[in-house]
């Protein structure tokens, strides 16, 4: 039923938008400002809006009834926890490694833990809410930028910069992890109240 509702909403939206674009393309009648397709255009826009409303209604029903937000939070938190533990391991040996090895190790961390979190950005902002989702994503991105800086510093053979930056990298990923856990707890509480 839910999938059907989502599909119906999407279909109405698409038909409405295509029809609105077609009718909007017609040139105005001579000596007037608007074309004679204005009524049809308005009806198309109305259907597109109704389609969107139906889509979002069924989508919100789905997110209330299943616990996908909590599952997502828990997945992201798990990824971040693994990343933090890997970063802690790397911290103990980073200053003994060659530049190439440092970059390789950081690339592995980026590919295995950071990229999957960033790839789920749409789901994160949809399920956690725009503000909360953005907070998590920004903390992850800050950590990612600093990991990139470590790669650059390693390539330039500037070990002092790695000393300075490494604790900040950990701070940002720990911040993202804490935010995830906090929002997960809030979501669980609100679901229990429901």
Partner 1 sequence: MFNGKNNKYRELTLITVLLGIIQGVILNIAFVYIALKIGFSVGGSAIAAIIGYVFLRGILREGTIVENNINQTIASGINSTGTGVAFVLPTLFLLSVQNQNLVISLWPLLLAGIGGAILGVVVIIPLRKQLIEIERLRFPTGVAVATIIRSGSVTGFNKAKLLGIGLLISVTWKLLMISQWLEIPGILENEELNFSFGVLPAYLTPAIYLSTLNFAAGLLSGRAGLPFFLGGILAWWIVSPVSVFFAWTPELNGKELVDFIYSQMLRPLGIGVLIGAAFMEVILNFSAVKGAIHSLIAASRSNNKSCKDELSFSVLVTGGVVAIFFFFIAAWSVVGVSIGQAILVAMLGSLWLGLAGLIVAQCTGLTDISPVSGIALISVTMMMFALNGNVAAAMLVTLAIAVAIGQSADMMQDLKTGFMVGSRPLLQQIMQLTTSWLGVIIACIVIYILWHGGPGGQGGFGPNTDLPAPQATVLMSVVEAVQSNTVPVDKFILGGIIGVILGTAPVAGMGVLVGLAMYLPLAITLGYGFGCLTQMAIVKKKGEVFAENKIVPLAAGLIIGEALMDVGHVVFKIFL
Residues of this chain that interact with partner 1 (CB under 8 A) are 13, 17-18, 20-22, 24-28, 33-35, 41, 45, 48-49, 52, 55-56, 59, 95-100, 102-104, 107, 111, 115, 118-119, 121-122, 125, 130-131, 134-135, 137-138, 141-142, 144-161, 168
Contact between residue 151 and residue 102 where contact means Cβ atoms under 8 Å apart: yes
- Residue 41: CB minimum distance to partner 1, A: 6
Which is nearer to partner 1, 92 or 131 (by Cβ)?
131
Torsion over CA: 174, 175, 181, 184 (sign):
negative
**What's the CA gap between 1 and 160, in Å, rounded?**
60
123 vs 188, beta carbon nearer partner 1? 123
CB of 110 to partner 1, least distance (A): 9
**For residues 74 and 125, which CB has a smaller minimum distance to partner 1 in the complex?**
125
Tell the smallest beta-carbon distance from residue 36 to partner 1 (Å): 10
Instruction: Closer to partner 1 by CB, 157 or 194: give it.
Output: 157
For residue 192, the minimal CB distance to partner 1 (Å) is 26
Q: How far is the CB of 103 from partner 1 (least distance, A)?
A: 4
| Beta carbons within 8 Å of 128's beta carbon, 6+ residues apart | 69, 72, 73, 136, 183, 187
Cβ distance 191 to 67 under 8 Å? yes
* C-alpha 46 chain-centroid distance: 30
| DSSP H helical ranges for the chain | 2-25, 38-65, 68-93, 99-109, 115-119, 121-128, 130-155, 159-193
Q: Which residue number, 96 or 192, has a Cβ lying nearer to partner 1? A: 96
Cβ neighbours of residue 84 closer than 8 Å, sequence gap 6 or more: 170, 173, 174, 177
Give 18 or 64: the residue with its C-beta nearer to partner 1: 18
């Amino acid at each position: 039923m839910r999938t059907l509702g989502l599909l119906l909403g999407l279909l109405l939206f698409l038909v409405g938008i295509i029809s609105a674009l077609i009718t909007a393309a017609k040139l105005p009648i001579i000596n007037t400002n608007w074309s004679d397709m204005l009524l049809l255009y308005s009806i198309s826009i109305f259907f597109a809006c109704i389609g969107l409303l139906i889509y979002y209604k069924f989508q919100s029903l789905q997110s209330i009834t299943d616990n996908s937000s909590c599952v997502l939070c828990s997945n992201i938190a798990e990824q971040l926890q693994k990343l933090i533990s890997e970063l802690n391991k790397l911290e103990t040996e980073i200053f003994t490694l060659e530049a190439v090895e440092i970059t390789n190790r950081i690339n592995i961390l980026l590919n295995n833990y950071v990229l999957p979190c960033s790839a789920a950005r749409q789901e994160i902002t949809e399920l956690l809410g725009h503000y909360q989702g953005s907070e998590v994503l920004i903390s992850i991105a800050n950590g990612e930028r600093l990991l990139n800086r470590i790669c650059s510093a390693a390539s330039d053979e500037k070990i002092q910069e790695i000393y300075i930056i490494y604790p900040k990298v950990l701070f940002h990923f720990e911040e993202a992890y804490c935010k995830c856990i906090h929002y997960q707890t809030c979501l669980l509480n609100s679901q229990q109240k429901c």
